[in-house]
Amino acid sequence: MNTTIRLAKAATLALAASLPAASAHAGAGDFLVGVGVGAIGKTIYDKATRQPAPPRNVPRASQNREQVRDIQVRLNALGHNAGTADGIMGRKTRAAIYAFQKAQGYTPNGKLTQEQVARLVALTSPDSETNTTTIPVGKSDSGSHSKDQNRAAYTPPTPAIHGLIIGDKASDLGKRLTEIGYTDCEQVEGLYRCTEDLENMMDSLTVATVDNTIYLLYRDLAFKTEVARSALESRMTDTYPTLMSQDDLSRTEDASCTGTLQKPLSAVVAPVSTSPSDPNVLKKVAVACTDYQGIALTGDQTVTRAQILLYDNDPINQALEAGTGVFKAANDVPPDLKF
């Protein structure tokens, strides 16, 4: 317990320091920064549950960087994508902190308080009484998901794209996308489309919302230089351990959505992209596929394209039942209608 408290206090001091922010291009690159030139970068998670304290005689700046790196590792372990654990408090890390704060019921601002750091440490310490997840070790976090006498049952981390998750409120989404690093975004009737032409890839992001709630996240990366598949898979495993452990790189509770990414792309993404505010389209989409989390990599030995789709129809169904958002107008009776 004393070690946890000391770590929480040290990490809080580190986060209060002014550290250089990552560039917009680095933020947009997410877990794929540098892959276009063949350098996959450092592993987000070092496959160990130990979090050693920095040596006593190292400079304070080095200690701060180690403490921020520890925060990044823990955020990634919970599924809040802080990017590579490099010890730099950049945009990706702040976005991950924002997502963590929202998930835990705190007021989100991208800056951790001592209480929030202590909560983060508790959630990612395997032997902590408050821990409800097991930090993934190795390339798969799926395992048997059976209960252990000394640990709580494993709960897969919620997959995210740039720290955004399904169910997030979209009231400040435009601002968050800008902070992530996207400079070319458009919003059309609850649909956000962003593109970023980077040196090594074209990064496209689609975010669909209904009644101010995110129900779809789709990221499409087209590489200008082919990337070694084995290296890319290793890098993506750190960010999406549960999905990458699946044979078809996908998870769903709906048999009609099972399989490759192409089926939900045609049944969900295509109709929404064409008619994002049509209540009839959204109804059909919600019926066609209830939920889907999947990845598609184009290429055998080398990859030219990577696609990630996160989707759940719960926000659509909730808006439909409440008669809010686009469904409010659909339920309204014309004022000039007489009987």
More confident site: 149 or 222: 222
What 3-state class would DSSP assign to 309? Answer: strand
Q: What is the amino acid identity at position 128?
A: S
Beta bridge partners of 291: 312
- In this predicted structure, the answer to whether residue 73 has a pLDDT above a threshold of 60 is yes
| Joined tokens for residue 107 | 């007021």
pLDDT tens track for 94-139: 888 988 988 888 888 888 998 899 889 888 876 544 443 333 322 2
- In this predicted structure, the answer to whether residue 284 has a pLDDT above a threshold of 90 is yes
Closest CA to 112 of 166, 72, 167, 152: 72
Q: What are phi and psi of 122, to 5 degrees?
A: -65, -40
- In this predicted structure, the answer to whether residue 34 has a pLDDT above a threshold of 70 is no
Q: How confident is the model at residue 238 (pLDDT cuts 50, 70, 90)?
A: confident
- In this predicted structure, the answer to whether residue 240 has a pLDDT above a threshold of 50 is yes
Dist. CA 212–CA 38, nearest whole Å: 39
**What DSSP character marks residue 268?**
I
Dist. CA 310–CA 302, nearest whole Å: 24
Dist. CA 160–CA 165, nearest whole Å: 5
CB contact at 8 A, 171 and 177: no
pTM summary value:
0.58
25-51 burial, b at 16+ Cβ within 10 Å, e below that, comes to bbbbbbbbbbbbeeebbeebbeeeeeb
Give the strand pairing for 213-228 and 184-188. unpaired
What mean pLDDT comes out for the span 272-286?
94
CB contact at 8 A, 228 and 205: no
